[in-house]
Amino acid sequence: MIDSILIQRKVKFQIKVAVKTMVAVALVVLAVALPQIVHACAGAVGGIMLMPMYLPVLLAGCLLGTWWGLAVGITSPVVSFILTSIISNPMPALARLPFMIVELTVFAVIAGLFSNKIAKNKWLAFPAVLLAQIFGRVMFVALAFISQNVSGISGSVVLSQIQTGLVGISIQAIVVPFIIIALSKLIKRDEINE
């Protein structure tokens, strides 16, 4: 979505990269901060239930497209793991980290495939987010079942986490598209005022 807007405004390549970098960094920071806030307020169960890191990654896919979203999807759990390992207990846990990287990457890539279309029709953010969530969760389950003998994360535990996370998935399936719609309206209003 952002790329389409920048192209439409005939922005130079260097500025496009700078804008996308700033948005990506802001979303990674949000992806690291939100889980900390949720865990402080609602504990570990709140984190499993609300899946706060997923929201900024879904936004990254919708706003920045596939490649930049992919970078945010990979970077967010890694940065969170490194920073929280220094401060306290790592989030996500080391055993969960590879699964989360893959799942968030799928979230961002699928949502990112819709990015240019969302720029033309903001309502496409709803199917983009929903499909990203479905494919990401399916990938998580598949990886867990394939690697359960090696990883120590059983498929039944993953299915339980997914069931607990339905609250967060449902909230994000509504909130993320409405954030995209609000941003789109804000951008359109700025274009009219110029």
pTM > 0.75: yes or no: yes
* Whole-number Å distance between alpha carbons of 86 and 103: 24
pLDDT tens digits, one per residue of 146-186: 887 787 777 777 888 888 889 999 999 999 999 999 998 88
Query: Do 127 and 114 touch, CB atoms closer than 8 A?
Result: yes
pLDDT tens digits, one per residue of 98-113: 999 999 999 999 999 9
CATH code for position 165: 1.10.1760.20
Give the domain extent around 35: 2-193
- Mean confidence (pLDDT) of the chain: 90
| 3-class secondary-structure state, position 29 | helix
The owner of tokens 């169960």 is 45
Average pLDDT estimate for 25-54: 92
Give the model's pLDDT for residue 101.
95
**Sign of the alpha-carbon torsion through 146, 147, 152, 153:** negative
pLDDT tens digits, one per residue of 55-71: 999 999 999 999 999 99
Tokens of 115: 């990015």
Contacts made by residues 180-189, CB under 8 angstroms, sequence distance 24+:
180/1, 180/59, 180/62, 180/63, 180/118, 180/122, 180/125, 181/122, 181/123, 181/125, 183/1, 183/63, 184/1, 184/118, 184/119, 184/122, 185/122, 187/5
- The number of distinct structural domains making up the chain is 1
At 193, the pLDDT band (50, 70, 90 cuts) reads: low
Give the model's pLDDT for residue 190.
65
